[in-house]
Structure 1
Amino acid sequence: MPQPQTRYARAGETFIAYQVIGDGPMDLVYAGGIVTQIDLCWDFPEIERFLTRLASFSRLILFDRRGTGLSDRMPAGELPSLVDWAEDLNIVLDAVGSQRAAVFAERDAGSAAMVFAARHPERVSSLILSNTTARHGRAPDYPCGQPPEFAEQMYHTILEHWGTERMAAVAVPSRAGDENFARMSARYQRAAATPRVAAESLRYSSTVDVRDILGEIECPTLVMHRSRYPFLNPGHAAYLQQNIAGARGVGVEGADAFYAYDRADEALGHIEEFLTGSREQTYAEQVLLTVLMVDISGSTEMAAKIGDSAWRDLLQRFHSEVQKQLKRFHGHEVDASGDGVFATFGSPARALRCAAALVEEIKALGLTLRAGIHAGECELAGKAVRGLAVHIGARVLAEADPGEVWVSRTVRDLVVGSTFEFKDEGSYDLKGVPGQWRLFSLDKVAGGEEKEPERRFSRRRR
Structure 2
Amino acid sequence: MMPRTQYAKSDDVHIAYQVYGKGSKNLVLVPGFISQIETYWEQPNWAKWLERLGQFTKVAMFDKRGTGLSDRGVAVPDMDKRMDDIRAVMDAAGMDTAYVMGISEGGSLASVFAAYQPQRCEGLILYGAFARFESWFPTKEALEELFEYAEDNWGSGTALPLFCPETGDEPSFQEWWGKYERTGASPRDLIEIMKVNSQIDITDILPSIKAPTLVLHKTKDALIDIEGGRTLAQMIPGARLVEFSGRDHFAFMGNERDEILVEIEEFVTGAKPKPVFDRVLAAVVFTDIVDSTAIAQEFGDEQWHTRLEQHNALVREQIREFRGQEVKSLGDGFLATFDGPGRAIHCAKAIGEVVSKLGLRVRIGVHTGEVEIAANDVRGIAVNIAARIAELGDGGDIVVSRTVKDLVAGSGLDFESLGRKKLKGLSEEWHVYRAL
Provide the TM-score with structure 2 as the length reference. 0.62
Q: Secondary structure at the match of 1:89?
A: helix
Question: Match of 1:107?
Answer: 104
Q: Does 1:274 align with 2:267?
A: yes
Match in the other structure for 1:156? 148
The change in CA–CA distance for 1:206 and 1:114 in structure 2 (over 3 A counts) is same
What are the equivalent positions in structure 2 for 1:348-427 lying under 5 Å apart?
Answer: none
Query: Is the CA contact (8 Å cut-off) linking 2:163 and 2:249 kept in structure 1?
Result: yes
Q: Name the CA shift for 1:168/1:104 in 2 (closer, same or farther; >3 Å).
A: same
Identity %: 36
Query: What is the CA–CA distance in structure 2 between the aligned matches of 1:379 and 1:64, rounded to whole Å?
Result: 37
Structure 1: runs of 5 or more not aligned = 139-143, 290-375, 382-413, 415-462
Residues 282 and 119 of structure 1, relative CA distance in 2, 3 Å threshold? same
1:33 aligns with 2:25: no
Partner of residue 265, structure 1: 258
* 2:161 alignment partner in structure 1: 169
Residue of 187, 191, 195 corresponding to 1:199: 191
Partners of 2:204 and 2:35 in 1: how far apart?
A: 28
Kindly indicate whether the alpha-carbon contact (under 8 Å) linking 1:83 and 1:115 is maintained by their aligned counterparts in 2: no
Structure-2 change in CA distance of 1:160 and 1:228 (3 Å): farther
Q: 1:287 deviation in Å? A: 3.0
State the AA in 1 paired with 2:259. Answer: E
Using the TM superposition, give the Cα deviation of residue 28 of structure 1 relative to its aligned residue in structure 2, in angstroms.
0.5
What is the alpha-carbon distance in structure 2 between the residues aligned to residue 105 and residue 160 of structure 1?
29
Q: 1:285 to 1:168 in 2, by over 3 A?
A: same
Note closer, same or farther for the CA distance 1:255–1:380 as it changes in structure 2 (3 Å cut): closer
| Structure-1 residue corresponding to 2:280 | 287
* Residues 254 and 186 (structure 1), Cα distance of their counterparts in 2 relative to 1, 3 Å cut: same
Question: Which aligned runs of 4 or more in structure 1 are off by greater than 4 angstroms?
Answer: 376-381
The structure-2 alpha-carbon separation of the partners of 1:88 and 1:379, relative to structure 1 and needing over 3 Å to count, comes to: farther
1:24 CA drift (Å): 1.0
Structure 2: 5+ residue stretches without partners = 283-368, 375-406, 408-436
Distance 1:379 1:110, change over 3 A: farther
- 1:134-161 CA-to-partner distances (Å, cap 9, x unmatched) read 11238xxxxx982343333333334433
Q: 1:3-60, CA deviations, whole angstroms, 9 ceiling, x for partnerless residues?
A: 1111100012210011111121110011112331111211111111101111000101
Could you tell me how far apart the structure 1 residues matched to 2:370 and 2:21 are? 24
Deviation string, structure 1 residues 241-273 (Cα, Å, up to 9, x no partner)? 111000000111122221112121011111111
1:96 aligns with 2:70: no
**Cα distance in 2 for residues equivalent to 1:379 and 1:200:** 48
2:217 corresponds to: 225
Tell whether the 8 Å contact from 2:37 to 2:62 is kept in structure 1 after alignment: yes
Residue 232 of structure 1 and its aligned partner are, at CA, apart by 2.5
Q: Which amino acid aligns with 2:78?
A: S
Q: From the superposition, tell whether residues 147 and 181 of structure 1 become closer, same or farther in structure 2 (CA, over 3 Å).
A: closer
TM-score computed with the length of structure 1 as normaliser: 0.59
Number of aligned pairs?
290
Query: What letter corresponds to residue 185 of structure 2 in structure 1?
Result: A
Question: Which segment drifts farther, 11-20 or 153-162?
Answer: 153-162
Q: 1:159 to 1:379 in 2, by over 3 A?
A: farther
SS in 2 for 1:4: coil
Following the alignment from structure 2 to structure 1, what is the Cα–Cα distance between the partners of residues 94 and 70?
19
Check 1:285–1:128 CA distance in 2 against 1; reply closer, same or farther (3 A cut). same
Structure 1 CA distance, aligned partners of 2:4 and 2:160?
Answer: 27
**Shift of residue 283, structure 1, vs aligned partner:** 4.7
Distance 2:263 2:18 in 1: 24
1:213 paired with 2:205, answer: yes
Identify which range, 213-222 or 203-212, moves more after superposition: 203-212
1:43 matched to 2:42? The reply is: yes
Aligned to 2:403: none
Give me the CA root mean square deviation: 2.6
Partners of 2:244 and 2:55 lie apart in 1 by 22
Q: Distance in 2 between matches of 1:63 and 1:49?
A: 18
Distance in structure 2 (CA, Å) of the matches to 1:25 and 1:69: 28
Q: Distance in 2 between matches of 1:272 and 1:86?
A: 25
TM superposition shift of 1:210 = 1.1
